[in-house]
Amino acid sequence: MDLFKEILEGNKVAVAKGITLLESSLETDNILAQNLISNCLPHSGNSIRIGITGVPGVGKSTFIETFGKLLTSNGHKVAVLAIDPTSEKTQGSILGDKSRMHQLSVDENAFIRPSPSSGTLGGIASKTKDSIVLCETAGFDIILIETVGVGQSETTVSNICDFFLLLMLAGAGDELQGIKRGIMELADILVITKADGDNMQKSAIAKQEYQRALHLFPVMENGWTPKVAFCSSLENTGITEIWDTIKNYNSQMTSSNWKSENRKRQNIYWLHHTIKEELGNKKYNALLSERKLEILENQLTKGKTIYRILEKL
């Protein structure tokens, strides 16, 4: 059967095959991948895209396991996609690794895909953006995009998410040390992990400190006030509250139209990014000065894919 139809029927093997096509560097695969994306695009979009970031060891995979199980037990279909621009150096993906999410990886309503192991951050993120389209076409309504906090990646990843969740450790001393302000400003929620056992008190103090720090930040453009929470993924505490916050955010941003406007803005960001990456700055600047970019943006808003637009340039 045709790959698109299989994806549309929710076949996870077909989704995995589709993502492999997207990641392939073979010209023949590229053509198939572009056709696939064009077919899937009208069936995509019906999801909450949640970015999850934090330093290695903060508890990302343990959190995703517990959080993902909560979601599937509530009837959701969860896709976990990873973006790890460092994986090339570490010889293979360290994120989205199935062996780290034992229960979720055998859950029939979950799909886990590790990070592509090569490419630039922008290139990987752009492919992940297309992978999201395939997952949504297959009926996955919650997309978790896992990334390591390495400075640059958060900004890029926030351009493919609706909601951004930053995991933090409660440390001794200055709680804000090591966390760049820019990253915190992107977060819709800061979650202090491992709030259990001896760590409980430290977590409560860290929560207060982060709350105070966030007060000093400018109000977000969409009117959302970033939240601070703590949880224990091992003891399964605080996880439901985090989900409630995300649901609340999603309904507010859907009714204010921010969610769809933001997705449009993100698509335009990727259009510009891809033109620069694929065709170079010279071509980009020429399009800019000839005022052609607006025409292309228009085509994008009408549902044309970035690939199809680039074909004609």
Residues that bind ligand GDP (CB under 6 A): 54, 56-62, 100, 193-194, 196, 232-234
How many Å apart are CA 127 and CA 123, to the nearest integer?
6
In angstroms, give the least distance from the CB of 245 to ligand GDP: 18
**Residue 243 CB, nearest approach to ligand GDP (Å):** 16
Whose Cβ is closer to ligand GDP: residue 56's or residue 92's? 56
Identify the CA nearest to 210 among candidates 240, 252, 175: 175
List the structure tokens of 267.
Answer: 């698509």
CB of 290 to ligand GDP, least distance (A): 46
Min dist. Cβ of residue 208 to ligand GDP (A): 20
Q: DSSP string spanning 199-223?
A: GHHHHHHHHHHHHHHHHTSPPPTTS
C-alpha–C-alpha distance, residues 276 and 284, integer Å: 6
Asked if 161 and 51 count as a contact pair (C-beta separation under 8 A), the reply is yes
Secondary structure element (H or E) that encloses residue 16, with its range: helix 12-23
Exposure string for 278-290, b = 16+ CB within 10 A, e = fewer: eeeeeebeebeee
Residue type present at position 127: K
Residue 177 DSSP one-character state: T
CB of 151 to ligand GDP, least distance (A): 16
d(CA 104, CA 243): 17
**Residue 33 or 165: which CB sits closer to ligand GDP?**
165
The CA-based dihedral angle spanning residues 100, 102, 104, 109, taken in that order and rounded to the nearest 10 degrees: 130
Contacts of 297 (CB under 8 A, 6+ apart): 268, 271
* Phi, psi angle pair for 169, to nearest 5°: -100, 140
Q: Which is nearer to ligand GDP, 156 or 233 (CB)?
A: 233
**Cα–Cα distance for residue pair 209/199, rounded to 1 Å:** 15
Rank residues 153 and 232 by Cβ distance to ligand GDP and give the closer one: 232
